[in-house]
Amino acid sequence: MTGIRGEQKERTRRAILDAALSLSDGSALVALSLRQVAKEVGIVPTAFYRHFPSIEDLGMALVEESLDTLRTLLRELRRTAGDDFRSIIDGSVTVLVTQVRQDQAHFGFIARERFAGPPAVREAIARGIELAERELAIDLAHLPGTDQWSEEDLRVLSTLIVGAMVATAERLLTAGSGSDAERKVADTARAQLRMMLIGAMQWRSRPSP
Protein backbone atom coordinates (compact mmCIF):
# COMPACT_ATOMS: atom_id res chain seq x y z
CA MET A 1 0.00 0.00 0.00
CA THR A 2 2.67 2.50 0.91
CA GLY A 3 4.84 3.41 -2.02
CA ILE A 4 5.63 6.73 -3.60
CA ARG A 5 2.02 6.76 -4.75
CA GLY A 6 0.53 5.99 -1.33
CA GLU A 7 2.59 8.65 0.37
CA GLN A 8 1.57 11.27 -2.15
CA LYS A 9 -2.10 10.37 -1.76
CA GLU A 10 -1.85 10.54 2.00
CA ARG A 11 -0.15 13.93 1.77
CA THR A 12 -2.93 15.33 -0.43
CA ARG A 13 -5.57 13.87 1.87
CA ARG A 14 -3.97 15.58 4.85
CA ALA A 15 -3.78 18.84 2.89
CA ILE A 16 -7.52 18.59 2.20
CA LEU A 17 -8.30 17.95 5.88
CA ASP A 18 -6.09 20.83 6.99
CA ALA A 19 -7.55 23.18 4.39
CA ALA A 20 -11.08 22.28 5.48
CA LEU A 21 -10.15 22.80 9.13
CA SER A 22 -8.62 26.20 8.48
CA LEU A 23 -11.33 27.36 6.07
CA SER A 24 -14.21 26.33 8.33
CA ASP A 25 -12.59 28.15 11.24
CA GLY A 26 -14.46 31.40 11.71
CA SER A 27 -17.54 29.92 10.10
CA ALA A 28 -18.99 26.42 9.90
CA LEU A 29 -18.55 23.17 8.03
CA VAL A 30 -21.78 23.71 6.11
CA ALA A 31 -20.42 26.96 4.67
CA LEU A 32 -17.54 25.08 3.08
CA SER A 33 -17.51 24.47 -0.64
CA LEU A 34 -15.67 21.71 -2.44
CA ARG A 35 -14.19 24.26 -4.81
CA GLN A 36 -12.84 26.47 -2.04
CA VAL A 37 -11.10 23.51 -0.44
CA ALA A 38 -9.68 22.36 -3.76
CA LYS A 39 -8.37 25.83 -4.57
CA GLU A 40 -6.75 26.10 -1.11
CA VAL A 41 -5.09 22.71 -1.52
CA GLY A 42 -3.99 23.52 -5.04
CA ILE A 43 -5.83 20.79 -6.91
CA VAL A 44 -8.62 20.91 -9.44
CA PRO A 45 -12.17 20.53 -8.01
CA THR A 46 -12.84 17.10 -9.48
CA ALA A 47 -9.65 15.68 -7.93
CA PHE A 48 -11.37 16.06 -4.55
CA TYR A 49 -13.46 12.96 -5.32
CA ARG A 50 -10.33 10.78 -5.40
CA HIS A 51 -10.25 11.22 -1.60
CA PHE A 52 -13.81 11.83 -0.40
CA PRO A 53 -17.19 11.02 -1.94
CA SER A 54 -18.59 14.36 -0.74
CA ILE A 55 -18.02 17.27 1.61
CA GLU A 56 -20.27 15.47 4.09
CA ASP A 57 -17.78 12.58 4.27
CA LEU A 58 -14.93 15.04 4.67
CA GLY A 59 -16.86 16.39 7.66
CA MET A 60 -17.23 12.94 9.19
CA ALA A 61 -13.49 12.34 8.78
CA LEU A 62 -12.81 15.60 10.58
CA VAL A 63 -15.15 14.63 13.40
CA GLU A 64 -13.43 11.30 13.89
CA GLU A 65 -10.06 13.00 13.88
CA SER A 66 -11.24 15.63 16.35
CA LEU A 67 -12.81 13.06 18.65
CA ASP A 68 -9.51 11.22 18.53
CA THR A 69 -7.71 14.21 19.94
CA LEU A 70 -10.47 14.50 22.54
CA ARG A 71 -9.76 10.92 23.59
CA THR A 72 -6.07 11.77 23.71
CA LEU A 73 -6.93 14.57 26.12
CA LEU A 74 -8.86 12.16 28.35
CA ARG A 75 -6.01 9.64 28.30
CA GLU A 76 -3.53 12.37 29.14
CA LEU A 77 -5.70 13.58 32.02
CA ARG A 78 -5.76 10.10 33.55
CA ARG A 79 -2.08 9.45 32.91
CA THR A 80 -0.92 12.56 34.77
CA ALA A 81 -3.45 12.40 37.62
CA GLY A 82 -1.79 12.81 41.02
CA ASP A 83 -2.89 11.51 44.40
CA ASP A 84 -4.15 14.43 46.43
CA PHE A 85 -6.93 16.77 45.35
CA ARG A 86 -4.67 19.75 44.85
CA SER A 87 -2.38 18.00 42.38
CA ILE A 88 -5.30 16.38 40.59
CA ILE A 89 -6.93 19.77 40.07
CA ASP A 90 -3.79 21.67 39.11
CA GLY A 91 -2.53 18.88 36.87
CA SER A 92 -5.86 18.50 35.08
CA VAL A 93 -6.18 22.18 34.27
CA THR A 94 -2.58 22.33 33.06
CA VAL A 95 -3.15 19.33 30.79
CA LEU A 96 -6.40 20.84 29.51
CA VAL A 97 -4.73 24.13 28.60
CA THR A 98 -1.79 22.36 26.96
CA GLN A 99 -3.89 19.98 24.90
CA VAL A 100 -6.41 22.60 23.76
CA ARG A 101 -3.54 24.81 22.60
CA GLN A 102 -1.83 21.90 20.86
CA ASP A 103 -4.91 20.90 18.87
CA GLN A 104 -6.77 24.16 18.80
CA ALA A 105 -8.19 23.50 15.33
CA HIS A 106 -9.78 20.23 16.43
CA PHE A 107 -11.29 21.61 19.62
CA GLY A 108 -12.54 24.64 17.74
CA PHE A 109 -14.13 22.34 15.19
CA ILE A 110 -15.90 20.40 17.96
CA ALA A 111 -17.15 23.59 19.60
CA ARG A 112 -18.54 24.89 16.30
CA GLU A 113 -20.13 21.70 15.04
CA ARG A 114 -21.49 20.46 18.36
CA PHE A 115 -24.80 22.22 17.77
CA ALA A 116 -24.47 23.72 14.30
CA GLY A 117 -23.20 20.66 12.44
CA PRO A 118 -25.22 18.11 10.48
CA PRO A 119 -27.14 15.57 12.64
CA ALA A 120 -24.62 12.74 12.23
CA VAL A 121 -21.82 15.05 13.34
CA ARG A 122 -23.77 16.33 16.34
CA GLU A 123 -24.53 12.80 17.46
CA ALA A 124 -20.93 11.70 17.14
CA ILE A 125 -19.77 14.63 19.26
CA ALA A 126 -22.50 14.02 21.83
CA ARG A 127 -21.38 10.39 22.12
CA GLY A 128 -17.78 11.48 22.58
CA ILE A 129 -18.73 13.77 25.46
CA GLU A 130 -20.95 11.12 27.04
CA LEU A 131 -18.02 8.75 26.93
CA ALA A 132 -15.92 11.27 28.82
CA GLU A 133 -18.69 11.61 31.42
CA ARG A 134 -18.95 7.86 31.92
CA GLU A 135 -15.20 7.45 32.26
CA LEU A 136 -14.98 10.28 34.74
CA ALA A 137 -17.79 8.72 36.79
CA ILE A 138 -15.72 5.55 37.06
CA ASP A 139 -12.66 7.49 38.17
CA LEU A 140 -14.69 9.48 40.68
CA ALA A 141 -15.89 6.26 42.29
CA HIS A 142 -12.29 5.50 43.24
CA LEU A 143 -11.83 8.78 45.05
CA PRO A 144 -11.94 8.87 48.87
CA GLY A 145 -15.36 10.00 50.06
CA THR A 146 -17.45 8.60 47.22
CA ASP A 147 -17.60 5.06 48.63
CA GLN A 148 -21.31 5.13 49.35
CA TRP A 149 -22.41 7.09 46.30
CA SER A 150 -25.14 5.90 43.97
CA GLU A 151 -24.51 5.54 40.23
CA GLU A 152 -26.86 8.46 39.78
CA ASP A 153 -24.90 10.79 42.04
CA LEU A 154 -21.67 9.84 40.30
CA ARG A 155 -23.26 10.66 36.96
CA VAL A 156 -24.56 13.99 38.23
CA LEU A 157 -21.13 15.04 39.46
CA SER A 158 -19.27 13.83 36.39
CA THR A 159 -21.59 15.68 33.97
CA LEU A 160 -21.18 18.78 36.12
CA ILE A 161 -17.40 18.56 35.97
CA VAL A 162 -17.27 17.66 32.27
CA GLY A 163 -19.63 20.54 31.54
CA ALA A 164 -17.35 22.96 33.38
CA MET A 165 -14.34 21.59 31.51
CA VAL A 166 -16.08 21.97 28.16
CA ALA A 167 -16.94 25.56 29.07
CA THR A 168 -13.32 26.11 30.07
CA ALA A 169 -12.06 24.70 26.77
CA GLU A 170 -14.44 26.99 24.88
CA ARG A 171 -13.17 29.99 26.85
CA LEU A 172 -9.58 28.97 26.11
CA LEU A 173 -10.37 28.97 22.39
CA THR A 174 -11.58 32.56 22.66
CA ALA A 175 -8.65 33.70 24.81
CA GLY A 176 -5.34 34.25 23.06
CA SER A 177 -2.51 31.82 23.66
CA GLY A 178 -0.27 32.83 26.56
CA SER A 179 -2.44 35.85 27.30
CA ASP A 180 -3.61 37.20 30.65
CA ALA A 181 -7.08 36.04 29.68
CA GLU A 182 -5.76 32.50 29.34
CA ARG A 183 -4.26 32.55 32.83
CA LYS A 184 -7.50 33.94 34.23
CA VAL A 185 -9.52 31.17 32.56
CA ALA A 186 -7.17 28.57 34.05
CA ASP A 187 -7.40 30.15 37.52
CA THR A 188 -11.18 30.18 37.29
CA ALA A 189 -11.25 26.54 36.22
CA ARG A 190 -9.09 25.53 39.18
CA ALA A 191 -11.27 27.42 41.65
CA GLN A 192 -14.42 25.91 40.12
CA LEU A 193 -13.03 22.39 40.36
CA ARG A 194 -12.21 23.04 44.01
CA MET A 195 -15.72 24.31 44.69
CA MET A 196 -17.34 21.33 42.99
CA LEU A 197 -15.17 18.84 44.85
CA ILE A 198 -15.87 20.54 48.19
CA GLY A 199 -19.56 20.25 47.40
CA ALA A 200 -19.12 16.61 46.45
CA MET A 201 -17.26 15.78 49.67
CA GLN A 202 -20.11 17.21 51.74
CA TRP A 203 -22.74 15.62 49.51
CA ARG A 204 -24.18 12.62 51.30
CA SER A 205 -23.31 13.80 54.78
CA ARG A 206 -25.40 16.89 54.08
CA PRO A 207 -27.67 16.14 51.12
CA SER A 208 -29.69 19.37 50.98
CA PRO A 209 -28.26 22.87 51.46
Partner DNA sequence: AGTTTGGGTGTACGTCTGTACACCCAAACT
Partner DNA sequence: AGTTTGGGTGTACAGACGTACACCCAAACT
Q: Residue 143 binds which one of DNA, a copy of itself, none, with CB within 5 to 8 A depending on kind? A: none
Cα(108)–Cα(160) distance, integer angstroms: 21
Long-range pairs for 130-137: beta carbons < 8 A, 24 or more residues apart: 131/71, 131/74, 132/70, 132/74, 132/162, 133/158, 133/159, 133/162, 134/158, 135/74, 135/78, 136/161, 136/162
Q: Which is nearer to a copy of itself, 36 or 203 (CB)?
A: 203
Cα(190)–Cα(188) distance, integer angstroms: 5
- Asked if residue 133 binds a copy of itself (CB under 8 A), the reply is no
- Asked if residue 3 binds DNA (CB under 7 A), the reply is yes
- Asked if residue 209 binds a copy of itself (CB under 8 A), the reply is yes
Query: Using CB under 7 A, which of 23, 30, 40, 55 touches DNA?
Result: 55
- Asked if residue 120 binds a copy of itself (CB under 8 A), the reply is no
Q: Could you tell me which residues come within 8 angstroms of residue 137 by beta carbon, excluding any fewer than 6 positions away?
A: 151, 154, 155, 157, 158
- Asked if residue 44 binds a copy of itself (CB under 8 A), the reply is no
Q: Which is nearer to DNA, 103 or 113 (CB)?
A: 113
Number of residues that bind a copy of itself (CB under 8 A): 47
DSSP 8-state symbol, 42 = T
Rg (CA), the chain: 20
- Asked if residue 204 binds a copy of itself (CB under 8 A), the reply is no
- Binding residues for a copy of itself, rule: CB under 8 A, are 26-28, 30-31, 85-86, 108, 111-119, 126, 153, 155-157, 159-160, 163-164, 166-167, 170, 174, 188, 191-192, 194-203, 206-209
